[in-house]
Amino acid sequence: MQQNVNLSAIVLAAGRGTRMKSRKAKVLHQAGGQALVEHVLDAAEASVPPSRITVVVGHQADQVRALLASRSCNFVTQTEQHGTGHAVAICESIAPKDGFTLLLYGDCPLLSASTIASLVKAQQQGGFAATLITTMLDQPDGYGRIVRAPDDSVAAIVEQKAATEEQKKIREINSGIYCIDSQLLWQFVGKLTPNPASGEIYLTDIVELLRAAGHRVAALVLDDPSEILGINQRIELAEADRILRARKTRQLMLDGVTIFQPETVAIDSAVQVGQDTVIGPFTQILGKTKIGSDCTIGAGSVIRDSVIADNVVVSEYCFVGTSTVETGARIGPFSRLRMENHVEAGAHVGNFVELKKTRFGAGAKAMHLAYLGDSVIGAGVNIGAGTITCNYDGVHKHQTNIGDNVFVGSNSTLVAPLNIEASSYIAAGSVITDLVPTDALALGRSRQTNKPGWVTNKRRKS
Ligand code: UD1
Ligand code: CA
């Protein structure tokens, strides 16, 4: 989408969000895998250059600024929240005065970039002082109501608290998304006065001020109200999350990804998935995860901030966190790639195997019941069931290195720091504490002794 040099934006994100009943500022709450205010900025940045975006912060200002630090937008601090009109007014010293200004609320995360573009177009072509987005709701409770003038332009926005019984029946509501002639905005926003009932300065009152001065305000009525859902409490947060996730799975399906029972699947906005990958029900694919083509992600698996190459199978009920999995590898079912692992091409990690900070070589196998931590495991290694790297001595973590084509027998205890050189064998049930040289067999257990007739003797005595 094209950025418009004549356009600027103000995003209001200073409010506490009392109705959330949270210790955390409302705009920091997440839906669809990112904070509400991030969604609003993503949509705004499609039309407005970041240097022309001002974010009003207040409640937990430091956290909101930190979250948005990588974006080159500007910030204004509203120390006391005296209402949406006050929040805009305090931007006067830094906000651009030319062209049009978009006014956006940080608690409306579903607004799309294309709807912003339509609003800007309507404002540019309509010749009104301002254009605002409205929609019809069957249950308009909580929103400001749109009062229409006889000529069908917008006469006023009446807040729920101030509305008469008759006005409460109006189904057309204010989305809180406006595009306004910047000169008129700065001419009139300072003239807003506190609402007598609440003491807050309402941005919405600017409509009446503009009209009184002979200007006209238009509305862009959206058919689909889901885009302008304002999050005031957690029930709406869950609804926004559901809608964002449905949008994401829909887009992926349109792009050639198979998703079964998509309504049970949670995929964060930034996730990328390649063509012909099949995603099972009840999966979660989170953060900055990137999945290649022709993969299978089995039911119930959770993948976070990881990179999965092409042709990988992550079967049912696996967890993969901050790890890389190369082409053709097979993970699961029931595997845990806890953190910072690198599974090379064609390797197999089976059920109840945990990997932590481990590089697992090409074609290597650990099919059942193992813990491999802080280790570098070569190509073609076979890790028997029950193998454990003892990487922690109670104070420090230590490294285990296993060379190519090593065979580690079942139930081996590998006490780190440890080097097991290429092509060696570890006998089952061994406790290995010292270097194992190339091609050697290491036995680290006591020899079996059989006592013939022992049971017969025991029986005779009793
Ligand atoms: C507002 C509108 C209402 C509209 C609704 C749409 C006003 C007076 N009312 O009501 O017409 O239907 O949004 O969702 O504008 N904020 C600040 N500083 C403040 C107050 C608020 O930055 O002093 C921010 C909040 O963080 C929030 C946004 O402005 O992101 C909206 O504030 P909120 O209190 O949620 O307004 P509503 O009552 O929902
Ligand atoms: Ca709101």
Q: How far is the CA of 75 from the centre of ligand 1 (A)?
A: 18
Q: How far is CA 117 from CA 125, 178, 403, in A?
A: 12, 12, 58
Query: DSSP code of 388?
Result: E
- Strands 100-105, 74-77: pairing kind: unpaired
Closest CA to 103 of 188, 2, 200, 18: 188
Query: DSSP code of 11?
Result: E
Q: How far is the CA of 69 from the centre of ligand 2 (A)?
A: 24
Q: Are 28 and 64 in contact (CB under 8 A)?
A: yes
H/E stretch holding 401 reads strand 400-402
| φ and ψ of 371, to 5 deg | -125, 120
Q: How far is the CA of 17 from the centre of ligand 2 (A)?
A: 8
| Distance (Å, whole) CA 98 – CA 146 | 28
Query: DSSP code of 189?
Result: G
Q: Is the dihedral of CA 220, 224, 225, 226 positive or negative?
A: negative
From the candidate CATH numbers 3.40.800.20, 3.40.190.10, 3.90.550.10, 1.20.140.10, the one assigned to the domain spanning 7-228: 3.90.550.10
Q: How far is CA 346 from CA 295, 309, 311, 328, 445, in A?
A: 13, 11, 9, 5, 32
| Distance (Å, whole) CA 395 – CA 136 | 63
Q: What is the CATH number of domain 258-442?
A: 2.160.10.10
Closest CA to 384 of 345, 427, 354: 427
Q: Are 175 and 104 in contact (CB under 8 A)?
A: no
| Distance (Å, whole) CA 413 – CA 318 | 24
Q: Are 185 and 250 in contact (CB under 8 A)?
A: no
The packing angle between helices 113-126 and 36-45, to 10°, is: 50
Closest CA to 155 of 108, 98, 218: 218
| φ and ψ of 160, to 5 deg | -45, -45
Shortest-distance Cα residue to atom 36 of ligand 1: 84
Q: Which ligand is nearest to the CA of 85?
A: 1
Q: Are 243 and 147 in contact (CB under 8 A)?
A: no
- Number of other CB atoms surrounding residue 127 within 10 Å: 9
Beta strands in 28-153 (DSSP E): 30-31, 34-35, 53-57, 74-77, 100-105, 130-136, 145-148
Q: Can you tell me which atom of ligand 1 is nearest the CA of 159?
A: 11
Shortest-distance Cα residue to atom 25 of ligand 1: 15
Give the burial string for 80-99 (b: 16+ CB within 10 Å, else e): ebbbbbbbbbbbeeebbeeb
Q: How far is the CA of 84 from the centre of ligand 2 (A)?
A: 10
CATH 2.160.10.10 in the chain, residues?
A: 258-442
Which pair of tokens denotes residue 112?
Answer: 């799309």
Catalytic residue list contains 368: yes
Q: Can you tell me which atom of ligand 1 is nearest the CA of 106?
A: 30
* Residues flanking ligand 1, CB < 6 Å: 12-15, 27, 56, 58, 78, 81-84, 86-87, 105-108, 143-144, 157, 159, 173-176, 202-204, 230, 232
| Distance (Å, whole) CA 458 – CA 461 | 5
Residue to mutate, 39, 80, 105, 168, ligand 1, most ligand atoms under 8 Å from C-beta? 105
Separation of CA 172 from chain center:
32
| Distance (Å, whole) CA 87 – CA 59 | 12
Beta strands in 310-358 (DSSP E): 313-314, 319-321, 324-325, 330-331, 336-339, 342-343, 348-356
pLDDT digits (tens, 9 = 90+) for 96-121: 999 999 999 999 999 999 999 999 99
Cis peptide before 50 (omega within 30 of 0): no
CATH 3.90.550.10 in the chain, residues?
A: 7-228
- Number of other CB atoms surrounding residue 64 within 10 Å: 24
Residues in the chain predicted with pLDDT less than 70, given as ranges, are 1-2, 5
Please give the single-letter amino acid code of residue 329: A
Q: Are 309 and 294 in contact (CB under 8 A)?
A: no
Shortest-distance Cα residue to atom 22 of ligand 1: 14
Q: How far is the CA of 213 from the centre of ligand 2 (A)?
A: 28
Catalytic residue among 86, 342, 348, 368: 368
